[in-house]
Amino acid sequence: MSRQVVVEYEVFKEICRYSSQYASFKIPRQKWVECMGYLFCKVFKDEDKEYVVKEAVGMASGSEMRVEIPPEELAKIENMLRDRSGMFLGGWWHTHPGLTVFYSDTDIKNQMFYQQRNEEGLGIVFDLNMISDNFIGFKIYRNDSKDGKTYHEVPYQLKGFTEEKLKDALDYLGGITDTTIHNLSVNYEFKDDDLVEYQQGGIPKSSDPVADADTYFKKTKVNQFKKQFDKAIENIVIAANLYEQGNEYEMAIDSYLDAARYSIKSKKTYIADAMFDIARDIIDSNHIQARNYYLAKIFYNEGLIREVEENFTKAAMCMDEALKLYDHKEDFEDVYNAAIKRVVYLDRLGSPDLANDSRIIAKKALESIIKDASNNEYYSDKNWKQLLIDITEEIEQYNIKKKNEGLKRIA
């Protein structure tokens, strides 16, 4: 019976790094080129049940790829093995960018070389275009026999992966969102070191959790001023947990949303989705008087995260949900902010009619703010009247443009 195949993180990272020179989402698809390399493996004991793929080395691309391995190439492999104590040439890897993962007839012939040297020799096929919430983008194959006419898929386990490490590897390829990376990590059950620390580590036991939460909240402001955003996330999550212990649920939700915003600054937006989930759990599990308001705030902040990921469709949908939940008779500034953000996203998506609908919502919110400003010092820090003048002009320009387009159609 064959040993369990284990692929270590550094193998995947090197495949992503090397292959990104020839195919990535930063390169036009018509210029994508296949590439290949070797896999160095280790079996710690003869009776060991694991066949560990420990290192990947890139060697060739495009027309340089070949079925036959010439003597000079074999000499290179032997030299490499001298520097890798206890390892052996255990297989090969290559890419099928945009072609899906499978073995071609040429691949089957290539595979014969590795299985003739070692009956457990294997091959990895990687297609960056297949990376999704549920699939990391590669499969492993072996030929059914040394003669090499048919092949089969080989199950494998992943070792040493965390969510943050996965992000580091996939960053070489570009174009893969933090949301996909997070969902992929969840589906493969990767444990992210940072996230475990933020959610579970260092939460103190307290006789006065709210007072202690206030202390950690103040530390967060210092971290923010010093641009120590990783530390800010750690402290604000501790504050959030303490507020929750003290039954100050609204303060806890606000703190988790602060953590989500700091994750943008620390370039760890995958943390934000976990914070949103925790905040929603608090709302679902407790009697929150301003339930709709806090759900709206979650959608608003989620929209900001999707904006950073350049997913403007999802960002616009989040702002739309926020606008449905905010009270348009009270939450004037929140309504204005969500509406203006939605205008930006819809303009990027080429939806001018929907964008103008949001401008009208923003204008009504500004009119309410200005009406209320004389009795409310909170609204004194912005030039709301100028914002109203600007957005009114934008709406008028849109209406003139639509009118002219209508006249052209009639003519």
Give one word for 140, left, alpha or beta, with left for phi > 0 and alpha for psi -120 to 50: beta
Average pLDDT over residues 379-404: 87
pLDDT at 381 over 70: no
Confidence class for position 21, pLDDT limits 50, 70, 90: very high
Between 146 and 295, whose confidence is greater?
A: 295
Q: What is the model's pLDDT at position 404?
A: 87
The pLDDT-based confidence of 3 (bands split at 50, 70, 90) is confident
The continuous run of DSSP H or E covering 281 comes out as helix 270-285
pLDDT class for 70, splitting at 50, 70, 90?
low
CA distance 176 to 127: 13
Scanning the structure block, which residue is given the tokens 């960002």? Answer: 315
Mean pLDDT over the full length of the chain: 86
pLDDT at residue 142 tops 80 = yes
Check pLDDT > 50 for residue 129: yes
Sign of CA dihedral 88, 102, 96, 313: negative
In this prediction, residue 320 carries a pLDDT of 95
Of residues 208, 225, 211, 217, the one with CA closest to residue 254: 217
Asked whether residue 190 carries a pLDDT value surpassing 60, the answer given is yes
- What pLDDT, on a 0 to 100 scale, did the predictor assign at position 316? 95
Best mean pLDDT range from 181-185, 213-217, 283-287, 355-359: 355-359
62: left (phi over 0), alpha (psi -120 to 50) or beta: left
Q: Name which residue leads in pLDDT, 123 or 86.
A: 123
Average of pLDDT values for 109-118?
Answer: 88
- How far CA 235 is from CA of 169, 216, 308, 395, in Å, comes to 28, 6, 23, 44
Q: Any idea which of 15-19, 230-234, 292-296 has the lowest mean pLDDT? A: 230-234
Question: Do the Cβ atoms of 388 and 366 come closer than 8 Å?
Answer: yes
Checking if the pLDDT of 159 tops 50, the result is yes
Neighbours of 2 (CB within 10 A): 12
What average pLDDT score do residues 321-343 get? 93
pLDDT score of 253 = 94
Strands of the sheet containing 88-95, edge to edge, are: 151-154, 138-143, 122-126, 88-95, 35-42, 50-61, 4-8, 156-159
Name which of 154-163, 227-236, 294-303 the model is least confident about.
Answer: 227-236
Do residues 353 and 338 lie in contact, with contact meaning Cβ atoms separated by under 8 Å?
Answer: no
Is 138 exposed, middle or buried (CB count within 10 Å of its CB: 0-12, 13-18, 19+)?
buried
- pLDDT of 155 strictly over 90: yes
| pLDDT of 67 strictly over 50 | no
